[in-house]
Each structure stands twice: as C-alpha cells, then as structure tokens.
Chain A
Amino acid sequence: MPTFGTAELLSLLPFGCPLLGALVVLLMDPFLVKDRPKLPLAYVGLASMLCAWASLGFLWGDRTVAWSGALAIDRFGLFLSFAIITVGALTVFATTEYARQAGIDCGEYYALLLTATSGMVLLAMANDLLLVFLGIEVMSISVYALAGITRTRQRSIEAAMKYFLLGAFATAFVLYGIALIYGATGEIRLDRIAHHMANTSLLAAGLTFLVIGFGFKVGAAPFHMWTPDAYEGAPASVTGFMAAGVKAAGFAAFLRVLVVAFGAGASSPEVSVVWTDLLWLASAGSMLLGNLAALAQTNLKRMLAWSSVAHTGYALLGIVAGEGRVGAGSAAALFYVFGYSFMTLGPFLVIALLSRNGEDFETIDDLAGLGQRRPLAAGALSLFLLSLAGLPPTVGFVGKLYVFRSAFDGGWIYLTVLGVVTTLLSVYYYLRPIVLMYMRDARRELPVAVPADWTTHFAIGLTAAAVLLLGLTPSGYLDAALAGVLSLR
C-alpha cells in the first residue's frame, strides 16, 4: 500500500480549488435573492480560481510526481494550467451580465465552469493514461452541459447534441487506444510506457486510435465537423471558454502523451514516425480547410470556429516540427497554444459584451459602424482579430513566427510554405470585420453600454493587455515554454 503525504495534498490545489469553489457556489445559490444579478457566485468562483492561481506559483519548481506517479507537478503542466485558470477566471468573472440576460444566471452555470476548469487542469497535469481519460471526461461532460445550458434556445441545444454525440464517439476511440497501449506495454504511466520494449505493431494501432480521439477533442481536420456547429450554437461566453480552455487542455495532454510516451527518446522510435505521419496530414488539412471555410462565413462565431480549426493546424505543425523531442518545436507549439487561448477568448468576450437578452450579436454585418459607437469594444476586437491573423505586434505574430521557424528548421519546408500561404489568406477574413467596423455606417441599432457591465470591460481590457504584452515582450514566456518542455524529461 503506498503512503501519501503533504506533497500529495499540495498537488491537489490547482484543480481542488475550483472544485471547492463549485461546491460553495452550489450551496450558496439557493440563499441568494432571485432576479438579482448573481455577482456573489462570480466572486466565489473568482476567489477559488485565484487560490488555484497562487498554488501554481507555489508549486512551480523542478519536476516531481505525486499519487504513485499519476500526477506530474512540472513546469509544463503548470505553465498551461496558468493559461487555463486565467481563462476560467475571466469567464466566470466577466460574464455575469451576459448570463443574466441570457437567463442562465444560475448556480449550475458557474459551478459547471468551475468543474470544467478543474478537469482541464487535471488533464494538463495528468501523468498516466487513466487520469488523462478522466480529465478529458470531466472537462467534456461539463462543457457538453454548458453548450446546451440555454436549453430553450433550439440552436443551443442542437449544438450541445452534436457536440455530445461526436465527443462521446471520440471518447470511445481514446479508451480503445489506451486499452491497446496498455496491452502492448502493460503500463499506463506515460514515462514508463516510453521505457518499455513493446509489441510495436499493437502499440502503433493503439496510438492511431488515441490520435484520432484526440483529433476529435481538439478539433483537427478531418475530425473537426462538430466545431462550427458547437461554437455557433453555444452561448458566447461558453464558446470563448471552449475555444480557449478546451483547446489548451486538450493540447496539453496531447503534447505530453506524444513527447513523454511516444517521443524521440522512447524505446520504440518507429512509433514516433506513426504519429508524425498522422499529424502532419491533420495539420495540413486543418490549415487549408479551416482558412478556406472561414473565408465564406457571414456569422462571426462561425468564422471564429473555422479559424480555430485553422489554428489547431498551426499548433499541430509545431508538434510535428518538434518530432517528440524536448526542444524548440515542442516549445513553439506550447507557446502557440498558450498565446492562442488569450487571443481567442477575447473576441467571444466582446460578443458577450455586445449581446442583449440572450440573442448573440454575431453576424459580421452587424459590426458595421461599431468603431464610432463603441470605440473601446471595436478597438479590442480589432486587436484580437489582428492577433489571430498573425500580424505584429501581437502574440499571434510571435507564436506563428516560432512555429514556422521551427518547422522550417526541422525540414518541413512544404508544410511551412502552406502555413505561410494560408496565413496570408486568413488576413482577408480577419480584416473584413475591421474594415466594416471603421469604414461603414451602422445598418441597425447598436446596443448601448450597460453600466453594470464593467466586469466584462475589465476582462476584455485584461485579455487585450495580455495579447499585446505577450507580443511585445515574449522572451520570458518563451523561456517558460521551453523550460516547460524540458521539464517533461
């Protein structure tokens, strides 16, 4: 029987705090006055997130494992947990007004956001396949429910249904892949799988299933079909959380599994060829399909959904360039995901800010004239779109630069060229809303600012600052990303 001590208890903090917050929120909810904004719940949520945040700084240090090796406390997991918890905190704190107007201002909304965050952090820190599986499920089940939480709106419940069906399908693939990997090696701990002489063909089959399952979860082509529908139908606050948090956590687990268990240093190096082949195809497909489909969209949320497919492609390009080594390529992918989670959260917060009474402000034509009426919202949205397009001086530029450079250095010339070409293509659809906002007059009445909405303004400002700061002085965060990847070994 293993014994557990203080290290185990402390390692619970990053995901235990949000869980505790969820429980407190649920207990508080019945005692609050009905028909009033539920700010206290948001504050409790925020407080629990801040505790989790502080615990990250406290745990930051050399790699240790806890709970018989099930949980890894290393810079890699903590680095992405930092982004995940920030995204979760901003969503919980900044969307009270939106939630009130959409009629979802109930305890469950905040509690589900908190449990989802808890699952994401668990996923980012998981060091064995059992915990990876459970982390994915805690995250996914919370987010399925969140996507359909405006259950009287047909589009929301339709989005939840589609997301759920494909998510459950993907879960089965993940499980089957894990079963085969366990069969081939007898291990589920990532670091031990790497040092195990295994039945290679069975291991390769298991890895294929696992990559397909993860491909669904992060929305990589050709497993992306749920993304546009789920992003469009879910309420804007949830979509932002999904786009930023689910993707960051999914990539955390994806990258960790590939680098630690099936990376270049593993005892069956042929296996890393299997996943590199699968992933470069997925990367090329996602970049092409995501950007081409985004060109044709008239709905802002749907356009951002296709753009998230494209960005999955760029992040995968970083993973492919890394080839499972603990080096620049994997670090570029890690930094890309880190930066992406901020620049994709931003636009959805702006949509949440502009939406009224549960009807999302989402067609691109509606944006016309926003530049004069709501200069701050328009400015922030422009900044986020420029960052998504990969223009300086934003984090999108730095992230793409490092991914492309490491791909080029790794000899993936064609993929790099494809990445650059599709990026240029994407500038068109990211600039179109900006042109509309500043060059056209409003076609319909634009919503005026609600004074109570200062939290959303504050969160948008913070996200915009992060996008700029990461773009102007990226070196510290790049070093942290590299340290994160190095801590995997």
Chain B
Amino acid sequence: MFTLSNCIVLSALLFAIGAYGVVARRNILVMLMSVELMLNAGNLALIAFSRYHASIPSSAANGLTGHVFVLMTMVVAAAEVAVGLAILIALFRNRQTVDPGELDLLKG
C-alpha cells in the first residue's frame, strides 16, 4: 500500500484539487489557499521521490535534493502569501471585495 506510485497518485490528486479550487472559486483568500495545496502537492512528490532515489545506489547522492527543494518551496510559499495578502488588503481597502469577478476596471 505504502508505495511510490501511490504517493505520487495522492500528490497528483491533491494538485488537481488545488487547481480546481483556483479555477472554480471566486474568493481570493480561498484561491490563495488552493495555490498552497498545489505547492504542497509538489512538496509531497519531491519528498517521495527523494525517499525513492536515496535508496537506489546509482542515485543515492541525489536523495537529499528533494528535501532541500522542499525547504526552499516553503520560503517561496511564505513570501508569496505575504505579498499576496498585502495586495489583497490594499485591494479590499479600495474596493471592499475579495471577488476576482468584480475586478473589471481592466477590460477589452
């Protein structure tokens, strides 16, 4: 049960759920959380592949790459959330909305 392919299938499902959230939802906060789901799906795949490669002699030297990558992704996610929420606060001050559907000043 606890196999590499199952882990990757799980991460693909999580990625798809996140993508659904970004496309389907009309609330910027939830869309941002959905992006977090997608990034975490990537993290899961990286860690699973790391575990796999670390136990193969030919690629054992690269087993650590996934772990380091995930730590970097966390930094990226934190930075993105900080800037994204700042933009959202500025937007809410101007427009009192968190609905991307109401952002219609720029059209054409």
Contacts and interface: CB of A to CB of B under 8 A. Distances in A.
Interface of A: 130, 133-134, 137, 141, 144-145, 148, 151-152, 154-155, 157-162, 164-165, 168-169, 171-173, 175-176, 178-180, 182-183, 186-188, 228-229, 232-233, 296-299, 302
B84 A137 contact: no
Interface string B58-94: 1100100110110011001001100110111011001
B100 to A, nearest CB: 7
10 contacts: A130-B69, A130-B72, A133-B73, A141-B83, A158-B91, A158-B106, A172-B19, A175-B39, A296-B108, A298-B108
Contact of B35 (A172, A188, A228, A229): A172
A298 B108 CA distance: 9
A188 B84 CA distance: 28
A297 B58 CA distance: 57
A151 B45 CA distance: 38
Contacts of B68: 130
A169 B80 CA distance: 11
Nearest to A134: B72
B11 to A, nearest CB: 8
Given A145-B86, A152-B94, A229-B106, 6 more contacts: A145-B83, A158-B105, A161-B28, A168-B80, A178-B69, A186-B58
A298 B52 CA distance: 56
A296 B66 CA distance: 47
Contact of A176 (B38, B95, B100, B105): B38
A164 B28 CA distance: 11
B80 A179 contact: no
B30 to A, nearest CB: 11
A164 B45 contact: no
A168 B31 CA distance: 10
Nearest to B60: A186
B14 to A, nearest CB: 10
B87 A160 contact: yes
Interface residues of B, number: 48
Given A161-B91, A164-B84, A171-B76, A155 B65 contact: no
Contacts of B56: 186
A182 B38 contact: no
A188 B100 CA distance: 36
B106 A151 contact: no
B103 A161 contact: yes
Contacts of A144: 83-84, 87
A137 B79 contact: yes
B42 A228 contact: no
Contacts of B18: 172
B35 A133 contact: no
Nearest to B108: A302
B42 A133 contact: no
Nearest to B92: A157
A228 B108 CA distance: 8
A176 B106 contact: no
Nearest to B48: A183
- Report which residue of A130, A158, A173 has the largest number of chain B beta carbons within 10 angstroms of its beta carbon: A158
Contacts of A152: 94
Given A157-B90, A158-B103, A162-B100, A172 B15 contact: yes
B108 A299 contact: yes
A154 B28 contact: no
A141 B83 CA distance: 7
A180 B28 CA distance: 28
Nearest to B76: A137
A182 B83 contact: no
Interface string B24-64: 00001001100100110111011011001100101100100
B8 interface: yes
Given A168-B35, A172-B35, A186-B59, A155 B76 contact: no
Contacts of B43: 179
Given A172-B15, A172-B38, A151 B90 contact: yes
